[in-house]
Amino acid sequence: MLSSGSSDEIAMRVSRLMLVTLRDTPADAVIPSHQLLIRGGYIRRVTNGIYAYMPLMWRVLRKIIAIVQEEMDNAGSLQTLLPQLHPAELWEKSGRWQSYTEGEGIMFHLKDRQGKALGLGPTHEEVVTTLAGELLNSYRQLPINIYQIQTKFRDEIRPRFGLMRSREFIMKDAYSFHANEEDLQSTYKRMEAAYKTIFDRCGLITVGVDADSGAIGGAASQEFMVTAEAGEDLILIANDGKYSANQEKAISIAPNKKVLNKENPSILETSNQNSIEDLCTSNNLDPTQIVKVLALIATIENNETQPLLLSLRADQDLNDIKLSNEISKILNAQVFEIKPITVEQLKIQGLSDWPFGSLGPDLDNEVLNGAKSWKKTFLRCVDHTAADLESFVCGANEIGYHRSHATWETVGGIQNRVDIRTAKHGDKCIHDPTQALEECRGIEVGHIFQLGRKYSKALEVGFTNEAGHQEPFWMGCYGIGVSRLAQAAVEQNHDELGICWPLTIAPFEAIVVIANQKDEIQRELGEKVYKNLLEAGIDALLDDRNERAGVKFKDADLIGIPFRIVVGREASLGKVELFKRQTRQLKLLSVEEAQKQLLSEIFANKG
């Protein structure tokens, strides 16, 4: 009989694993992966949005980290470890301290005993760019690509879904520095390939989608999504698979418009017609013939507030992310917040009520006269779906009235033509109008960015080029949510009984279950099988608890180890059951046959 004195063997026994499983679903766990990780004893909630990784989970994370490290090293990236505490002055210099610490900012921040402001790092662009500026002086030292695997912190307003949106999490982030844009693009493609390999090796089905760069910034970015019903992001994918994008970023061809024949402009009396639907029903109109006008207020750098007047075709929805990006480009300033203008806000500004519901694209700037803090002119933007209308119905800037057969010439023209509409399921594709967009939900597990020179310029760091002149670095940024990836794998790989881990990241490759620990024959055979698996290089776990067989089987299904060898009633005949968790395939085999087949399947799956 195998001695249990070895510390390595004890660590691989369920009786020494600190494993506590739950039969009931926790009240605060909504999505399957969150429920199963808690029920399976993988994570324990410490407080809202903060979880302890228990021994089983840490084994999963270590396997993911090993895959990430190997592929990053293969891609030529150098591993480092950067500080979690960041001095505020670096973030102030990049212009991000205010947006990350005020209002709905996500950075935990504090002051040390000398009163110096510090932040707990949600991301590391400022720190790593400053270090690069101190260490990389010449184009001959470039390119450089460094990465870290680090605990990050984000003060999420609504942490939820376990590790999907938590306030403390493990992340791999990499940063590259280049002498020119072409070299940045080359590394970006190499990192894209490395990411695909990482996710494939982790046993995940992912899709790369065009994405908004968000607060990180940059010219181009791509998200890697694990497709799952519980995903927070809506993805739009072309029928032919040649285009995919997060809905925040997606572009498409809007549904065809219904032409409103040109006639002389006239006024429609529209009292009590309080919606687009009412307006269409009462006047025999189609939403594609109407321009809706929205009044919003944008807060930008230096706490300036810019009133916006937006025009969209009435069948289209406003895309807040696209709008923020367009306003930022037009004003050449960072946009912190955009909100609808309300009657209450008008009163605070000392302004008279506006004709909401009947606003036209040419609402006069005079309505802003006397505003206490707002700019006194509108920034007017017209979505291309509205701009393409030759004749349309719109508000007459008087409550209860609309204009029919208006044209852009009669309403003051188009100041800024933009794309601020939300692409939708069924829209035609830009790259091929015969293709349509389909939607699915996804969980973001990775994101790569071409940052350009945003941070190197802001932090005033760079290198000496071949001509002997100083210029800012070209930079890239590449992130993988390690702890999020682990939960995403569960979301994509589970059934009604529990988790079905992909083999490469499972906490153990196989579990040996002794059905009756009190039966000496079963116990001795179970110990022998377990020892043989370890000697063959299999990452195995032994369930040696003095529990009923049914409890052990339920726990094994719940924690989701890919292969199970059950030593039960047939032990006296030298036979065991080999069970494959993913397919639920069960075979009664001799010990030798079971071990041979198990080894074959595991090593085949390992490649």
Output the 3-class SS for 444-469. Answer: EEEEEEEEECHHHHHCCCEEECCCCC
**How high is the pLDDT of residue 265?**
80
Those residues whose C-beta lies under 8 Å from the C-beta of residue 425, and which sit 6 or more positions away, are: 236, 437, 438, 439
pLDDT computed for residue 212 by the predictor: 64
Six token digits for residue 364: 């006069």
Q: Say if residues 600 and 545 touch (Cβ distance below 8 Å).
A: no
| pTM to 2 decimal places | 0.85
3-state secondary structure 113-167: CCCCEEEECCCCHHHHHHHHHHHCCEHHHCCEEEEEEEEEECCCCCCECHHHECC
Q: How far apart are CA 519 and CA 568, in angstroms?
A: 9
Counting every residue written for the chain, the total comes to: 607
pLDDT at 214: 54
DSSP state of 563: E
Lowest mean pLDDT among 98-102, 251-255, 462-466, 482-486: 98-102
Domains and CATH numbers, the chain: 7-30+508-606 (3.40.50.800), 60-84+121-251+437-490 (3.30.930.10), 266-418 (3.90.960.10)
Q: In Å, what is the CA distance from 149 to each residue of 78, 129, 142, 152, 242?
A: 11, 17, 23, 9, 32
CA proximity to 477, closest of 187, 158, 159, 202: 187
What residue type is assigned to position 391 of the chain? S
Alpha-carbon torsion 37, 40, 45, 50, what sign? negative
Q: What is the mean pLDDT of residues 422-436?
A: 94
Other beta carbons within 10 Å of 196? 15
Give the tens place of pLDDT for each residue, 90-141: 999 998 998 899 888 999 999 999 999 999 999 999 999 999 999 999 999 9
- Nearest partner of 51 among 194, 151, 133, judged by Cα: 151
Q: What is the pLDDT of residues 186-241, one digit of tens each?
A: 999 999 999 999 999 999 999 988 876 554 445 678 999 998 888 888 999 999 98
Which pair of structure tokens corresponds to residue 390? Answer: 């030759």
Q: Cα-flanking dihedrals φ and ψ of residue 244, to 5°?
A: -150, 145
pLDDT of residue 4: 40
Alpha carbons 607 and 604: distance in angstroms, whole number:
5
Cα separation, 299 vs 337, in Å, equals 5
CA distances to 90, 113, 513 from 117, in Å: 11, 10, 54
Question: Which tens digit of pLDDT belongs to each residue from 384-412?
Answer: 999 999 999 999 999 999 999 999 999 99
Identify the burial level of 529 via C-beta atoms within 10 angstroms of its C-beta, where 0-12 means exposed, 13-18 middle and 19 or more buried. Answer: buried
Least Cα distance to 419 among 336, 323, 332, 295 occurs for: 323
Burial 249-260 (b: 16+ CB within 10 A, else e): bbbbebbebeeb
Top-confidence residue, 511 or 241: 511
| SS3 (DSSP) at 66 | helix
